[in-house]
Structures are given as structure tokens and as C-alpha cells.
Amino acid sequence: MTSTIKDVAAHAGFSIATVSRAINAPHTVNPVTLAKVREAIDALKFRPSPLGRQLRGERTRLIGVVLPTLANPVFAECLQGIEELACAQGFRLMLMTTQYDAQRERHAIETLRAQRVEGLILTVADADTHPLLDELDANGPLYVLMHNDTKRRPSVSVDNHRAAFDGVRMLIAHGHRRILMLAGTLAASDRARQRHGGYAHAMEQAGLTPAPALEVDFHAEALAPSVLAHLSAGPARPTALFCSNDLLAMVVMRGLCRARLRVPQDMSILGFDGLAMGELLAPPLASIVTPNGEIGRAAWQRLMARIGGEYAGASRGLALPHTLREGGTIAAIAGASLSAAAGQRFMPGPARA
């Protein structure tokens, strides 16, 4: 026979209301009482019905998370930061991925709204002009963006433009003048567009001509032969590559190796994300380091603040500090002076609230 909440209350020696609070809002229950209720739940093998709670209009304590992919460890690190706090506060997460596809983003958001999530943490293709975000602003649920660098909406990220600017300036400080940026499809990522803006800014400030980003298949495990030919052909080939994320930088390193180009002797490489696995490569990957776990935790805290109506600042964009990891994939151009420029290259911008 299936146990009921009434059975649990009788077994634990508390009221049904106390048992309900222990299930739906454990942080409001005395720890000793909570332990006894949970013992009764385990003993009776009681399983609360989420659907029943939703139909009664009770809190679901369910938060939706929408990410482009889990194949990139950046998003897995963010998710871990979210999960740590969600578990501690008695919430459950419902995760959906979109593969950078606008239609899948719409499906994910609509699915999570149908599940009556109490809030959303999202990474979308284009934060500033996203019609579904306008709809969420008007009709809810409340949300916070993660990794989308925007002042217009509630978000937690790094300053992508400034971070890329600092990274490319580091390459320039090592004497590089022919620097090319590689990215996935710019239309699928506002972060990539902002990073290309930072690349262009650094090049122009140094009196150099920025090139359009070389767009490659983000999902490919190897560079196309035409891309490799472009990177390795002739004396005018780039001496340094700025890759819009670390995974792409790793694919590039493997492709260059197959083309018999040495990193960094023949070509320097800079990534973006600061993945720990990059330091395990030979040579270790130089990268612009983003605090991914902290971005996830800060997004959670801002969402909880919005849900609780605690402070207006949670509705604005927050940019956390980035750092630079020089690594072993950057070499100085022979005869280049690192004096003045090198003295500035490790001065990343401050957090922006």
C-alpha cells in the first residue's frame, strides 16, 4: 500500500503541516525535526508527488537551467557552481541544452515554463535582442543570464570585450603583428562577437589592421583542410592565433601539429576560458581565464535575490574579473621588445556591476 503524507506525520509524531514544510521548505524546519521527518519518509518509502504539488499551486522549488552544451567544460563548471547552492537550499534543477540553436532555445524555455519552474538560469545566443527574454521580462518567470555579457538584462559574465583586448594585447607585447582570431559562427554567439570586438580594439590601438574572424565549424573535431591551408600558407601567414574558446584552441593545436607546424615556435596560440585541462597539454595552453564556477554561483545568488525581491541590483549585469594565463603556447617574436607593453599585459579589468 502506498504511504501518504498523513502516514508520515503519524510515524514521525508531527502535524501534516510540519511534514509538508519539511518536504517543500526544509530550510524553515528545525534540524532535529527535519531529521525525524526524513527518517519517517525513508521508513515508509514515501515519495511526494511533484505533479500533485504543482496542481495544488504549491511551490515547485524547481529551477530551470538552459545551456548551449555540456560538451564544453565551461558550462559544466558553471552548472556545478549552481548545483552546489541549489542542493544546499533545497531546490532541484531541470537542465536542457540547445546546441546553439534558436528553435531549441525556444523549446527549452517553453518546456521549463510548462513545468512551473520558479526561475531560470540561461545562456542564449544573443542576449540583447532575444524576443523570448522580452517575453520573460513581461510574463516571467524571473531569470538570470550566465556568460551573456549584457548591461540590459540580469546577467553574470566577464567583460568579454575587455578580456579579449587584454589577451590580444599580451600577444602584441610578445612582438606579434599578424594575429588572427578563430571562432565558431559569430551569429550563434554574442560572446564571440564581443571577443572579436576586443581583438579589433587591441589591434587598432597598436596601429595594426584587424582581420575578420575566421569562422570554423564549432562542432568539428578537426580543422577543415581549407582552414589549415589558410593558416599555414606562405610567409604572410599569421604568427599568432586568438581562439574564441579553449576547446577550439585545442582543435587548432592538433591541426597545426598534423600540418607540421610547431606551437609556439612556428605559431603562438591563445585560448579563452582557462580550462584546467589546458594546463595538461604539451605545451600548456595560454588562455584568458574566466571564473566559471563563480559565475554559476553568482547567477544562482542573483536569481534567488530576484525571486526574493531583495535588491534591485540583481536585475543588472555583473561582470566578474578575468585573469590571463600565459602558458607555453605563446612565444616571443625574435628581436621583439617586451618592455613597456609587457609591463601592462597582466592588468585585466575590474569587476563591473
CATH classification of the domain holding 264:
3.40.50.2300
* Same domain, residue pair 174 and 215: yes
* Same domain, residue pair 24 and 112: no
Task: Kindly state the helix (H) or strand (E) to which residue 127 belongs, with its residue range.
Answer: none
For the stretch 276-325, pLDDT in tens is 999 999 999 999 999 999 999 999 999 999 988 875 666 678 999 999 99
Quickly tell me which residue has 510548462 as its cell: 114
The residue ranking higher by pLDDT, 25 or 257, is: 257
Whether residue 350 lies inside any domain: the answer is: no
Whether residue 347 lies inside any domain: the answer is: no
* Same domain, residue pair 179 and 147: no
For the stretch 102-156, pLDDT in tens is 889 989 998 998 888 999 999 998 888 888 899 898 888 999 999 999 988 999 9
Q: Are residues 204 and 210 in contact, defined by beta-carbon separation less than 8 angstroms?
A: yes
Quickly tell me which residue has 585541462 as its cell: 277
The number of residues in the chain equals: 353
Q: Give yes or no for residue 23 having a pLDDT over 80.
A: no
**Mean pLDDT value of segment 87-96:** 94
The residue ranking higher by pLDDT, 218 or 228, is: 228
Range with lowest mean pLDDT among 16-30, 88-102, 218-232: 16-30
Give the number of other CB atoms < 10 A from CB of residue 255: 20
Q: Give yes or no for residue 182 having a pLDDT over 90.
A: yes
Q: How many domains does the chain have?
A: 3
* Same domain, residue pair 238 and 175: yes
* Same domain, residue pair 181 and 90: no
- Looking at residue 208, its pLDDT comes to 97
- Looking at residue 340, its pLDDT comes to 37
Rounded Cα–Cα distance for residues 246 and 255 (Å): 14
Q: Which residues of 260-289 are buried (b: 16+ CB within 10 A; e: fewer)?
A: ebebbeebbbbbbbbbeebeebebebbbbb
* Same domain, residue pair 204 and 287: yes
Q: Band of the pLDDT at 335, cuts 50, 70, 90?
A: low
Whether residue 29 lies inside any domain: the answer is: yes
* Same domain, residue pair 66 and 104: yes
Q: Give yes or no for residue 343 having a pLDDT over 60.
A: no
* Same domain, residue pair 165 and 84: no
Whether residue 53 lies inside any domain: the answer is: no
* Same domain, residue pair 68 and 114: yes
Which phi and psi angles does 222 have, rounded to 5°? Answer: -150, 150
Range with lowest mean pLDDT among 53-57, 88-92, 170-174: 53-57
- C-alpha separations of 281 from 146, 250, 263 in Å: 28, 9, 11
- Looking at residue 312, its pLDDT comes to 61
Task: Kindly state the helix (H) or strand (E) to which residue 239 belongs, with its residue range.
Answer: none
CATH code of the domain in which 29 resides: 1.10.260.40
Q: Give yes or no for residue 341 having a pLDDT over 90.
A: no
How many CA atoms within 13 Å lie on the side-chain side of 10? 6
Q: Give yes or no for residue 26 having a pLDDT over 80.
A: no
Q: Are residues 127 and 150 in contact, defined by beta-carbon separation less than 8 angstroms?
A: yes
Q: Give yes or no for residue 348 having a pLDDT over 50.
A: no
- C-alpha separations of 115 from 92, 145, 282 in Å: 12, 19, 46
Whether residue 57 lies inside any domain: the answer is: no
* Same domain, residue pair 209 and 309: no
- Looking at residue 344, its pLDDT comes to 38
Q: Are residues 319 and 290 in contact, defined by beta-carbon separation less than 8 angstroms?
A: no
**Mean pLDDT value of segment 65-79:** 94
Whether residue 23 lies inside any domain: the answer is: yes
Range with lowest mean pLDDT among 127-141, 157-171, 226-240, 337-351: 337-351
Q: Band of the pLDDT at 62, cuts 50, 70, 90?
A: very high
Q: Give yes or no for residue 50 having a pLDDT over 70.
A: no
* Same domain, residue pair 67 and 178: no
Cis-peptide, bond into residue 154, ω within 30° of zero: no
Whether residue 315 lies inside any domain: the answer is: yes
- C-alpha separations of 172 from 200, 262, 340 in Å: 12, 19, 11
* Domain coverage including residue 228: 160-291+322-342
Q: Is 34 helix (H, G, I), strand (E, B) or coil?
A: helix
Whether residue 348 lies inside any domain: the answer is: no
With pLDDT > 70 as the criterion, what percentage of the chain qualifies?
A: 89
Q: Give yes or no for residue 243 having a pLDDT over 50.
A: yes
Q: Give yes or no for residue 349 having a pLDDT over 90.
A: no
**Mean pLDDT value of segment 42-57:** 64
Range with lowest mean pLDDT among 171-175, 226-230, 240-244: 226-230
Range with lowest mean pLDDT among 179-183, 217-221, 309-313, 319-323: 309-313
* Same domain, residue pair 194 and 336: yes
Instruction: Dig out the grid coordinates for 165 from the structure.
Output: 583586448
The per-residue pLDDT of the chain, averaged, comes to 87
